[in-house]
Amino acid sequence: MSTVEEIVRAFTTSLRSDAVDGGEMITLPLSLSSGNLVQLYVEKVDPGRWFVTDLGQAAQELALHGVNLESQKAAASSWAELVRSMAVDAPVMREELGRYELAGWLGSGELGSGVLTIGEAVVRADALRALAPGHRAQRFRDVIVQSAGRRNLTVLVDAPMPTKHGGKRAVSVKISGAHATYIQAVSGKGAAIDGFDKAQAVFSSAAVPKDELVAVLASRVRLEPWQWETLRDSGTPIMEAELDGFMERLAS
């Protein structure tokens, strides 16, 4: 059995479909921080046209973490940014759609990729739990999200960044404001050269202005002077201790 076949077999083993009123409840092998798996309701509404929604699962998970999508400015704007980033046909004509559902219409040939897009959006929404008051950061990325949230900045986690020659790659966080700021978190859990290589790979492949590229290095990261200068050639590297000041400037 090939590597791809092994992956497909593992994926389909955890994939489940249960018939519900008028459609199917699809359980995807995508886990949230609570341990729950992502579930999407799929309904065929016309020949070659489907409606897919998480039925508010992502918003409910955030509420359980203490994130208020109505009263917290950063959470509300970040949720709206996530919805815009999904790039699926928004269900604006679905009157019964809940305010905080991740959903969309999918045409013929789009169902598979669309289900994965919405499922991944549920996982990305789950990362906004870092905006909950009193949340203890589990990942270094959470530290960046929290710093932005304290200044009511709009964040998009695992954001697609345009790259040279027309591609895209995910970066840790995008901050939306007067212009986009793409941030790569460097946790320093591996060797120092690994953190440098990660940041350099992001910077060198980016098709965005230099001043929109930032690498935030955790306090444990130690770079040689030549590594700092290499990163400065194509972006802005900062240490964790400088993060709050940087976010203040973005918010001003």
CA trace torsion 69, 127, 78, 44 (10° rounding): -80
State the Cα–Cα distance between residues 187 and 195, nearest whole angstrom: 7
Confidence label for 119 from pLDDT (cuts 50, 70 and 90):
very high
pLDDT digits (tens, 9 = 90+) for 37-55: 999 999 998 898 999 999 9
Asked whether residue 183 falls in the same domain as residue 93, the answer is: no
Which of 27-31, 93-97, 111-115, 242-246 bottoms out in mean pLDDT, i.e. has the lowest?
93-97
- Would you say residue 96 has pLDDT above 90? no
Domain enclosing residue 234, as ranges: 140-251
Burial of 44 (0-12, 13-18, 19+ CB in 10 A): middle
Residue pair 151/131 in contact by the 8 Å Cβ criterion: no
161 lies in the same domain as 247: yes
Alpha helices (runs of H) in the chain, residue ranges in sequence order: 3-14, 57-65, 73-85, 111-126, 140-149, 192-205, 225-232, 243-251
- Specify the pLDDT at position 23: 94
Contact 102, 62 (CB under 8 A): no
Residues 68 and 114 in one domain: yes
93 and 46, same structural domain? yes
Residues 67 and 156 in one domain: no
Predicted confidence (pLDDT) per residue in 141-164, tens digit: 999 999 999 999 999 999 999 999
User: Token pair of 245, please?
Assistant: 């000041």
If one counts the domains in the chain, the total is 2
Mean pLDDT, the chain, whole residue set: 90
Percent of all residues in the chain with a pLDDT value above 70, rounded to a whole number = 94
Q: pTM for this structure?
A: 0.88
Q: Tell me, yes or no, whether 161 and 80 share the same domain.
A: no
Q: What is the pLDDT of residues 19-29, one digit of tens each?
A: 998 899 999 99
Given 114, 131, 148, which residue is the final one in a domain?
131
Same domain, residue pair 36 and 98: yes
The CATH number that applies at residue 181 is 3.40.1350.10
pLDDT in tens, 49-77: 999 999 999 999 999 999 999 999 999 99
